[in-house]
Chains A and B, each alone.
Chain A
Amino acid sequence: MAISEEQVRHVAMLARLSLTEEEVVSFGRDLNSILVHIDTIQRLDLQGVEPTAHPLDAVNVTRPDVVSPGLSRADALRNAPDSDGRAFAIPRIMGIEGGDE
């Protein structure tokens, strides 16, 4: 299953990556060279084989619903690229195209 340049752009969008046109070509080439090898898996007879999501038999784990200390605000903001001291600061997410100011 070869991947086209258009698919490379689509996957990059899904993964929130911005690629230059040269990168679309080079990552497309890399992905295809990997997929050629990976595609050997298509030859396996997997009829009736159950999927394994986890190597051990995973069981649901719960804990008592009691309040315990979490990360302090200062620690949560310690590595913030931008903050006002109380919250993370980000560019506007509303009205980008509408110009509602």
Chain B
Amino acid sequence: MSTEWLVNARAAEVRMRFVTGDVSAREIAESSLARIEATDEGIGAFNQVTAELALASADRIDETRTAAVREGLDPAQALPPLAGVPVALKDNMNLIGTRTTCSSRILADYESVHDSTAARRLLDAGGILMGKCNMDEFAFGSSTENSAFRPTCNPWDLERVPGGSSGGSAACVSAGQVVVSLGSDTGGSVRQPGALTGTVAVKPTYGRVSRYGVVAFGSSLDQVGMFGRSVEDTALTLQAIAGHDPADATSVDLPVGDYVAAARCGAEQGIAGLRVGLVTDLLEAEGAAPEVISAVRAAADVFAKLGAEVGEVELPSTAHGLSAYYIIGPAEASSNLARFDGIRYGHRAAGAADVLELYTRSRSEGFGSEVIRRIMLGTYALSAGYYDAYYGKAQRARTLIKQDFAAAFERFDIILTPTSPTVAFRIGERIEDLMAMYLTDIYTIPVNLAGLPAMSVPAGLCPSSGMPIGVQLIASHFAEEQMFRAAAAYETAIGFDTSPPTR
């Protein structure tokens, strides 16, 4: 059967075709598998394609539908919100029956023995898991070139990166291999690849989604996020996975909003009276491309035309966001990655004479160079004599950044910035230049330091390169509904076509 319809389909459309009996879940899964088969050699979005799991769960969903019909129920009412929708997971999210490699040699053969709550909830909502997605090793990177297996290519131009670290999760949605996917965002790892692949990419408020079963990077920064080809699809996905989880003590026990209704409200009724603040000081940050700056200014004009009250805002402390992040992130990572010691799981060096040698050789053989770099940086920043100069200062700078945002949200509902200073760069272009790579996340990092929700929405194509540009909408803590409403209104106003030309 033709796979074409699925390539551009939205989640609600896939579900509707399934529940009305127009197409079976098995046919949907087979179409998604065919699309992956046809395109993934070039793109490299997947570390593992879970064909057997996908077909088995598709058959279960088909049976659920058949049973509902037999009992005289309306399948549209009886079936869950993502029934029959092909989904993918970043390869740092555990799910029994899959390997969870973090794109690292040290976990290359690791088989999950428990389920991450976010993945479990996505599948309980009817999603069909197609596979696990490539990433920068342990999520350290902004291009997916730091994968131990292979780089992922941008579906808009296979010679360019898809961003990172959730580059595979972004690329599979952009390329129409799946409809929505999950990633994780510690400093921009969902939003930046979203911008670079022309997809909608959401990082919810810190604590909104359980991180249980997601391999930890920076525990005060990490949050599970999602990719879709529309604002509503990301709202549906967050709706399915958000909420308190007793297994994650940092997940917050606050009511989950109606994100889908908020997105529909924004698309249909607009955003008259919404207060949007365009960030002016951070806008012209080091390395920001003129096309990106003008796209963000144009987005501010769109919001004004939609009836929003648009003003300007400065966030002076965010100039120190990158410094604070490259202390706090590596410090937390160096602690989290201490568990990879070659004893209980993961790579173990052969022939070690004693336990100390086993630790040091297993880790050095198993970790790639960016992982070693971050562990070293974090260990240094936490070590005796340097703790106050680095970690202590970074935590205080973090307070100033939080205060800047708090002051801005007294005047505005949404803060508007670029997502990434440039469009997708060429594979290999920044791999030797650490700081150029790190600067890629200059707009996204302050949001993680403050724990705020933010999302990247496609803003159009760069006139010189033809590559997508994303704008970032930041909302105050737990104001995701406001954020989806604004994003959907903007999306409707500009009518961006998320399909890459190489399709």
Which A residues are closer than 8 A to B by beta carbons? 1, 3, 7-8, 10-12, 14-19, 23, 27, 30-31, 33-34, 37-42, 44, 46, 49-56, 58, 61, 63, 71, 75-76, 78-82, 88, 90-93, 96
List 4 extra interface pairs beyond A11-B383, A81-B342, CB under 8 A: A11-B376, A12-B376, A41-B327, A52-B395
Indicate if the CB atoms of A49 and B113 lie closer than 8 Å. Answer: no
Collect the chain B residues with CB atoms within 8 Å of residue A61's CB. 249
Q: Measured between C-beta atoms, what is the minimum distance from A72 to chain B in Å?
A: 9
Q: In whole angstroms, how far apart are the Cα atoms of A3 and B389 in the complex?
A: 14
Cβ contact of A8, chosen from B356, B376, B390, cutoff 8 A: B376
Q: Tell which of B151-159, B273-281, B347-355, B464-472 binds the partner.
A: B347-355
Q: Contact at A91–B354, with CB atoms within 8 Å?
A: yes
Contacts A1-B389, A51-B396, A52-B395; is A90 near B355 (CB within 8 Å)?
A: yes
Q: Is there a chain A Cβ closer than 8 Å to B422's Cβ? A: no
B451 cross-chain contacts in A, Cβ below 8 A? 54-56
- B91-133 residues with Cβ-Cβ distance < 8 A to A are 109-111, 113-114
What residues on B are CB-neighbors of A76 within 8 Å? 113, 344
- Complex Cα spacing A51 to B220, Å: 13
B298 sits at the interface (CB 8 A): no
* A-contacting 9-mer, from B76-84, B190-198, B357-365: B357-365
Set of chain B residues within 8 Å of A12, measured between Cβ atoms: 376
B379 within 8 A of A: yes
User: CA of A31 to CA of B392 in the docked complex: distance in angstroms?
Assistant: 19
Q: A11-B376, A27-B373, A52-B402 are in contact. Are A46 and B396 (CB under 8 A)?
A: yes
> For chain B, what secondary structure do more than half of its interface residues adopt (helix, strand, loop), or is it mixed?
helix
Q: B375 contacts the other chain (Cβ, under 8 Å)?
A: yes
Task: Please pick, from A33, A42, A88, A96, the residue contacting B354 in the complex, using a CB distance under 8 A.
Answer: A96
Which listed residue, A42, A49, A56, A80, touches B252 by the CB 8 Å rule? A56
- How far is B398's CA from A82's CA once the two chains are assembled, in angstroms? 43
B10 contacts chain A at the CB level, 8 A cutoff: no
* Contact status B355-A81, CB under 8 Å: no
- B241 contacts partner chain A, Cβ-Cβ < 8 Å: no
Q: Which secondary structure dominates chain A's binding surface?
A: loop
28 residue pairs A–B, Cβ–Cβ below 8 Å: A1-B386, A11-B376, A14-B379, A15-B334, A15-B363, A16-B359, A16-B363, A31-B376, A34-B377, A38-B326, A38-B390, A39-B323, A41-B320, A41-B327, A41-B393, A44-B397, A49-B399, A49-B400, A51-B398, A52-B399, A55-B402, A55-B452, A56-B252, A56-B477, A58-B250, A63-B246, A79-B346, A82-B348
Across the interface, do B394 and A91 meet the contact criterion of CB distance under 8 Å? no
Bin chain B's interface residue count: 35 or more
Q: Give the complex CA separation of A88 and B252 in angstroms.
A: 36
Chain B residues close to A by CB (< 8 Å): 109-111, 113-114, 206-207, 220-221, 246, 249-250, 252, 320, 322-324, 326-327, 334, 338, 341-348, 352-361, 363-364, 367, 369, 372-373, 375-377, 379-380, 383, 386, 389-390, 392-400, 402, 434-435, 438, 448-452, 477
Assess the A52–B398 pair: CB atoms within 8 A.
yes
Whether A78 and B113, one on each chain, are in contact in the complex, defined by CB atoms closer than 8 angstroms, is yes
Which B residues are in CB contact (< 8 Å) with A52? Answer: 395-396, 398-399, 402, 449
Question: What is the CA–CA distance of A41 and B389 in the complex, to the nearest angstrom?
Answer: 9
The residues of A that contact B364 with a CB separation of less than 8 Å are 17-19
Q: Is the CB of B397 within 8 A of A41?
A: yes
* A7, A8, A15, A51, most chain B CB atoms within 10 A: A15
- A19-B364, A46-B397 are known contacts. Are A37 and B111 too (CB-CB below 8 A)? no
**Residue from the list B345, B356, B383 in contact with A79, Cβ < 8 A:** B345
Docked CA distance A23–B303 (Å): 51
In the assembled complex, which residues on chain B have CB atoms less than 8 Å from the CB atom of A46? Answer: 393, 396-397, 400
Once the chains are docked, how many angstroms separate the CA of A57 from the CA of B133?
Answer: 33
Q: Flag if B399 contacts A51 (CB, 8 Å).
A: yes
A11, A49, A58: residue with the most chain B Cβ atoms closer than 10 Å = A11
Q: Looking at the assembled complex, report how far the CB atom of A39 sits from the nearest CB atom of chain B, in whole angstroms.
A: 8
Ranked nearest first, the 10 interchain pairs of A and B with the lowest CB-CB distance are A55-B451, A51-B395, A81-B348, A79-B345, A61-B249, A18-B360, A75-B113, A41-B323, A46-B396, A52-B398
Q: In whole angstroms, how far apart are the Cα atoms of A34 and B399 in the complex? A: 22
